[in-house]
Amino acid sequence: MSEQPETYAAAAEVGAVRKRRTAWERFVLLMKSAPPSAWFGMIVVSLYILVAIFADVLAPYGEAEIHPVPFAPWSDEFVFGTDQIGRDVLTRLIYGARNTMGIALATTILSFLIGGGLGLVAAINRSWLDQVLSRFVDVLMAIPSLIFALMLLSIFGSTVTSLIIIIAVLDSTRVFRLTRSVAVNVAVMDYVEAARLRGEGLGWIMRREILPNIMPPLVAEFGLRFCFVFLTIAALSFLGVGIQPPTADWGSMVRANASLIQFAKYDITAAITPLLPAAAIALLTVAVNSIVDWFLHKTSGLRE
């Protein structure tokens, strides 16, 4: 019997130590537990973010600056040569990180605001509104998103604003389905019913009771949605209806430099040049997915 208080005291001391840990200490412990794949993803994403932020400092030339020699070979003056009208490829790659990632991030955030908000409302208010929203989302999801985006951009024009809004609305259907499916299970919990009986409003219940309990899958979905939006914007730019010149974009760079591949037998660097923006797209996609996989493993409660 004398050992029981000591056990309780030891447990209480461990709990107190955990509470005294600062946010930085918890962050350090989390980083130490990250696998090599997650570290690879975080390093790559951090480098991309730094390049996007400091593009004006890192780029050797202006974003739309034109030089006399188009399709110039790799040299000390032009590290990766020039494109079809004489713009420096390295400069376009650096500015492309800012433009492509920035527009993809803004689009993903907007899609989560639309789809996540409507999904929470549909999960809580299980009435005719839920049925109307769900059937409308089913109709939108039945249409191939890339073809639908091509049609809408052809109608409304390929401006940055229309690109963000159209892709965000189309992508919000996936966010709506996920948010509604995970929120429905939480909305029937006892603490949510208690909040309703207390007379709490719909917004308060969404913000304080449901949203904190469904954040892990939403955060993981945010990373995946960012990749899909990122690839969609690159595909639309490759097809000529995405980000318009002179704004630098990796998708349009692949399209503009694709003709260099036919000169590969004369100069191997000519074949590599159009692959540089494609490699930048692929590397960022792999890095983000590595982080998402680690986050899903941490939040799922699974152990090695």
pLDDT digits (tens, 9 = 90+) for 113-127: 999 989 988 888 777
Q: How far is CA 128 from CA 138, 174, 243, 254, in A?
A: 15, 20, 39, 47
What are the DSSP calls for the chain, one per residue? -THHHHHHHHHHHHHHHHHH--HHHHHHHHHHT--HHHHHHHHHHHHHHHHHHTHHHH-SS-TT-B-SSTTPPS-SSSTT-B-TTSBBHHHHHHHHHHHHHHHHHHHHHHHHHHHHHHHHHHHHSTTHHHHHHHHHHHHHHHS-HHHHHHHHHHHH-S-HHHHHHHHHHHHHHHHHHHHHHHHHHHHTSHHHHHHHHTT--HHHHIIIIIGGGSHHHHHHHHHHHHHHHHHHHHHHHHHTSSSPTTS--HHHHHHHHGGGGGGTTT-HHHHHTTHHHHHHHHHHHHHHHHHHHHHHHHHHT---
Give per-residue pLDDT as tens, 202-258: 778 888 888 888 888 888 889 889 999 988 998 888 888 888 888 888 988 888 888
Give per-residue pLDDT as tens, 216-226: 888 888 988 99
Q: Name the pTM for this structure.
A: 0.84
Mean pLDDT highest for which of 39-43, 208-212, 264-268? Answer: 39-43
Q: Cβ-count burial of 239 within 10 angstroms (0-12 exposed, 13-18 middle, 19+ buried)?
A: middle
Give per-residue pLDDT as tens, 44-97: 999 999 999 999 999 999 888 888 888 888 888 888 988 888 899 999 999 999
| Topology classification of domain 34-300 | MetI-like fold (1.10.3720)
Sketch the domain layout of the chain as residue ranges: 1-32, 34-300
Sequence-separated (6 or more) residues with CB below 8 Å from residue 119: 175, 176, 177, 178, 179, 180, 183
Backbone phi, then psi, for 66, in 5-degree steps?
A: -105, 135
pLDDT band at 164 (very low <50, low <70, confident <90, very high): very high
